[in-house]
Structure 1
Amino acid sequence: MSPVARLKSERAPILMWTRPEGVESAALDQLRAIASLPYIHHHVAAMPDVHLGKGATVGSVVAMRDAVSPAAVGVDIGCGMAALRTNLTASDLPDDLGEVRSAIEAAIPVGHRHHTTISTRVRRQDDLWDAFSRLHPKASGLLGRAMGQLGTLGSGNHFIELCLDADDAVWMMLHSGSRNIGKSLADIHIGIAKGLTHNVGLPDRDLAVFLAGTPEMATYRNDLRWAQDYARRNRETMLALFAGALRRFFPALRVPCPPAEGPHAGDAAFANVNCHHNYVAEEHHYGADVLVTRKGAISARSGEYGIIPGSMGTGSFLVRGLGNQEAFESAPHGAGRKMSRTKARKTFTVDDLKAQTAGVECRTDPGVLDEIPGAYKDIDEVIGYSGDLVEVVARLRAVLCVKG
């Protein structure tokens, strides 16, 4: 098993699971800047959906010894995917899913909206809210907003979908992260890192790092763990609200319970997946204990289930990891953008959006034009480059899509 290409940098090589000529030059420059950091362990891995990101490249997997760069995690800490296989089949669905979409949008706030009433389910997560008091002091005034946004979708590329697999089983799937509180914590710590003296000589100050054994690192790791936990619970809360909305139309709906953690968790894990793709993990690679940041990448240990979504309405893949060591046991997080939102709005029309999402119950107004499938890379090509990273377990075809 080997990557498609190997690039040189001043310090460590970059192993790519795509062809460099298909990646914008600015993203390649970002990868070289990351690989030149003195804390890099062995190499940097670039996934098939790699593209330019803010601060650090989306689709990058970075292992560091005794250091971590908050920009290499991203500002949506803990962003990721969740999917549940239900007991429904395609024959249970009505021909017109418009009312179902409206019910989901009414149950789960999208865009900049939030819950105006804090539910008992949210209030009872005492461990999460008790730990909030131990976050960085600059976040102290955000508790109310964080509680109101638990169980909300957000905007941009976040989505909720109702999908069918090859056997016509109905799946619930969604993509979201830690909302405003995650971004706020990331911005706080990126700002702190940039001001530390050991980062003054870095080739790119956006890649400023925290060092092990320092109070700044300890505070960041504490806040990072909390935000990752919040993001996972946000997806779990939305799935519960999603199921509640569906039961108005399908009273017999049943969904699986959460599976055991880790790979090899059996069929329950296959039917219930919840995975981060912007996060930090403590792992062991190439003879060393390291901090691995995945920004736009999922963990793909041998036997571990994950989700690689396509763009709006183009289909997604449930996959099982192959444990590729050169990729730090990782895989891509989705199709990845091939053009900016501004360029997408200038390139495509609403008629294009309607044509490219035909057969999917979804918004087709100018507000989501920048999420048109044509603005993203071909998901089948991304999966093709991932052949030594994951094996495909199921392809999911969207029949309903909710966007922020």
Structure 2
Amino acid sequence: MNGKHLIKLGFEKEAVGLALKAATAREGAGLARADILHELGAVQAAPQDYAGGGVYALLAQMLLAQAAAQQVRAASALRAVPLPYAVWGADLIEPGARAQMDVAMRLPVSRAGAMMPDAHVGYGLPIGGVLAAENAVIPYGVGVDIGCSMMLSVLPMLPGALKVAEASGLLLRHTRFGAGVGFEKRDRQDHAVLHEPTWEEQPLLRHLYDKAVNQIGTSGSGNHFVEFGTLSLAQPDPELGLEAGEYLAVLSHSGSRGFGAQVAGHFTALAGRLHPGIDKVAQKLAWLPLDGEEGQAYWQAMNLAGRYALANHDLIHARLARALGVSPLAQASNSHNLAWKEVVDGQELIVHRKGATPAAKGQLGLIPGSMADPGYLVRGRGHAPALASASHGAGRQLGRRAAQNALSKKDVQAYLEGRGVTLIGGGIDEAPQAYKRIEEVIARQTDLVDVLAEFRPHVVRMDTGSEDV
């Protein structure tokens, strides 16, 4: 008997050696070839019956391992074609982002999806992508800055009551930006999120607790900002408790700092190990079953990061309001890098919004432009084909390096001056010209949200970019 006989019988190449060894032992015991082939066929058909011991035990154990590996590969196999999904502002979206969304819609756990008009290429799911999955959470479907969010405070002051120099001084004293940056211990504020027992429920969260304490009430780098500006409300809004008119307002964009990024990295690695055979194009979309230990741990950490991110906004706005000696007339906030359990077509799914604003019917949301362009306070319309979502901003049209190469300080400064914006920090990689026109993005999603008010920035603080403006 040789390997050809066994391959013809259906044994994979890796198992042929063990099958030959067992066959040789049976030949030595006086069995005929036909009888040995019959036994080998029985082992192949029901390896679990032979794995406990005997001449065929090692072969049976290998066959069981091969079958288990095949199950893993099958469970991770992508669909041949993506599920259909709706796109808003297709003319504004680069082909690379569409290609990433196509891959996401080929995942075996995907059930529905949508793309917002600010969409552009990201890691895994495109930024501006919305993906509903069944019993699965995808760390890179949420993003690295877990819980990245917006907050608006409408103040009982006219916009002209706060001069540029005073606004600049307030932002310099009461906000902090950048990786690893926090307030001095004597100036650090407390928040209820830091006293949650959740921090003690995972080794990773215990490890990250001190970082969270040190950075509470601060903002990250990149496109995070805190700004004073004018909120223009065309009509009275009883829900907000505001009359029509113009108000001084504070708008902020920040996330969960390094805490969220480390959670994302840790659980993305775990997801990759659960799906070793996943197609290379989908490696950054590896998922965690939500009913598994890893999935439950990520869900817990993700939601804590979301609460921590909103706590940062709470403290930023509280500092500024206290410094001005006022209490906000109204506030609104939303996360746009998170996953939620939602009912879609009668089924509970995990809806990932990576750079997308929740826009359920009646839900308030904030869609910013850039450091010098307007942002909008909106109310969701609960549009089902969009999975009750809207854009989270204008969306980049130039990557950071491309912006640095294509734009000059002179051009950016002229843009800022033309719109009456004073910038503290910021870099050319965050220049307004690096973003799509927010007015065009808003115009592409009138069926997703109703615009309630426009916010125009006047004094903006950001982290110092790779090249300051």
The structural deviation recorded for 1:125 is 4.6
Question: Could you tell me how far apart the structure 1 residues matched to 2:209 and 2:400 are?
Answer: 31
* SS of 2:395 mapped into structure 1: coil
* SS of 2:98 mapped into structure 1: helix
* SS of 1:87 mapped into structure 2: coil
The structural deviation recorded for 1:238 is 1.1
Match of 1:149 among 204, 210, 215: 215
Question: Could you tell me how far apart the structure 1 residues matched to 2:402 and 2:142 are?
Answer: 25
Match of 2:322 among 244, 252, 255: 244
**Is 1:65 aligned to residue 134 of structure 2?**
yes
TM-score when normalising by structure 1: 0.87
Q: CA separation of 1:54/1:102 partners in 2, compared to 1, >3 Å: closer, same or farther?
A: farther
Question: Could you tell me how far apart the structure 2 residues matched to 1:90 and 1:234 are?
Answer: 24
Q: Which amino acid aligns with 1:242?
A: L
- Worse overlay, 118-127 or 155-164: 118-127
Match of 1:259 in 2: none
Match of 1:254 among 327, 331, 338: 327
Match of 2:25 in 1: none
Counterparts in 2 of 1:72-221, with a 5 A limit? 72-94=141-163, 97-112=164-179, 113-117=181-185, 121-122=189-190, 125=193, 127-128=195-196, 130-135=197-202, 137-166=203-232, 167-197=245-275, 200-201=278-279, 203-221=281-299
Match of 1:376 among 388, 413, 435: 435
**Residue by residue, what CA displacement relative to the aligned partner does 1:256-315 show, whole Å, maximum 9, x if unpaired?**
4xxxxxxxxxxxxxx311100000111001121111000011111111110000011211
Q: CA separation of 1:193/1:374 partners in 2, compared to 1, >3 Å: closer, same or farther?
A: same
Question: Could you tell me how far apart the structure 2 residues matched to 1:200 and 1:178 are?
Answer: 29
Q: Which amino acid aligns with 1:117?
A: K
The structural deviation recorded for 1:91 is 3.2
Contact 2:193 2:311 (C-alpha < 8 Å) held by counterparts? no
- Worse overlay, 141-150 or 75-84: 141-150
Question: Could you tell me how far apart the structure 2 residues matched to 1:34 and 1:321 are?
Answer: 25
The structural deviation recorded for 1:139 is 4.3
Question: Could you tell me how far apart the structure 1 residues matched to 2:280 and 2:186 are?
Answer: 44
**Residue by residue, what CA displacement relative to the aligned partner does 1:29-80 show, whole Å, maximum 9, x if unpaired?**
1011001011111x31000101001222000111011111110100100001
The structural deviation recorded for 1:225 is 1.2
* SS of 1:240 mapped into structure 2: helix
Contact 1:11 1:38 (C-alpha < 8 Å) held by counterparts? no
The structural deviation recorded for 1:360 is 0.9
Match of 2:92 among 15, 22, 26: 22
When you count helix as a share of all residues, which structure comes out higher? 2
The structural deviation recorded for 1:188 is 0.5
User: How many pairs does the alignment contain?
Assistant: 370
**Is 1:385 aligned to residue 463 of structure 2?**
no
Question: Could you tell me how far apart the structure 2 residues matched to 1:317 and 1:125 are?
Answer: 28
Q: CA separation of 1:126/1:375 partners in 2, compared to 1, >3 Å: closer, same or farther?
A: closer
Q: Which amino acid aligns with 1:68?
A: V
Counterparts in 2 of 1:13-52, with a 5 A limit? 13-19=84-90, 21-41=91-111, 43-52=112-121
Counterparts in 2 of 1:260-271, with a 5 A limit? 271=330
Q: Which amino acid aligns with 1:14?
A: Y
Q: CA separation of 1:205/1:317 partners in 2, compared to 1, >3 Å: closer, same or farther?
A: same
The structural deviation recorded for 1:22 is 3.3
Question: Could you tell me how far apart the structure 1 residues matched to 2:328 and 2:403 are?
Answer: 37
Structure 1: unaligned runs, 5 residues or longer: 1-7, 257-270
Q: CA RMSD in A?
A: 1.9
* SS of 2:362 mapped into structure 1: coil
The structural deviation recorded for 1:25 is 2.0
Question: Could you tell me how far apart the structure 1 residues matched to 2:289 and 2:314 are?
Answer: 33
* SS of 1:146 mapped into structure 2: helix
Match of 1:261 in 2: none
TM-score when normalising by structure 2: 0.76
Q: Which amino acid aligns with 1:81?
A: M
Question: Could you tell me how far apart the structure 2 residues matched to 1:291 and 1:199 are?
Answer: 23
Question: Could you tell me how far apart the structure 2 residues matched to 1:293 and 1:337 are?
Answer: 20
The structural deviation recorded for 1:100 is 2.3
Contact 2:193 2:307 (C-alpha < 8 Å) held by counterparts? no
Question: Could you tell me how far apart the structure 2 residues matched to 1:201 and 1:347 are?
Answer: 35
The structural deviation recorded for 1:395 is 0.7
Question: Could you tell me how far apart the structure 2 residues matched to 1:55 and 1:125 are?
Answer: 29
**Residue by residue, what CA displacement relative to the aligned partner does 1:238-260 show, whole Å, maximum 9, x if unpaired?**
11122234x1xxx4x3314xxxx
Q: CA separation of 1:25/1:101 partners in 2, compared to 1, >3 Å: closer, same or farther?
A: same
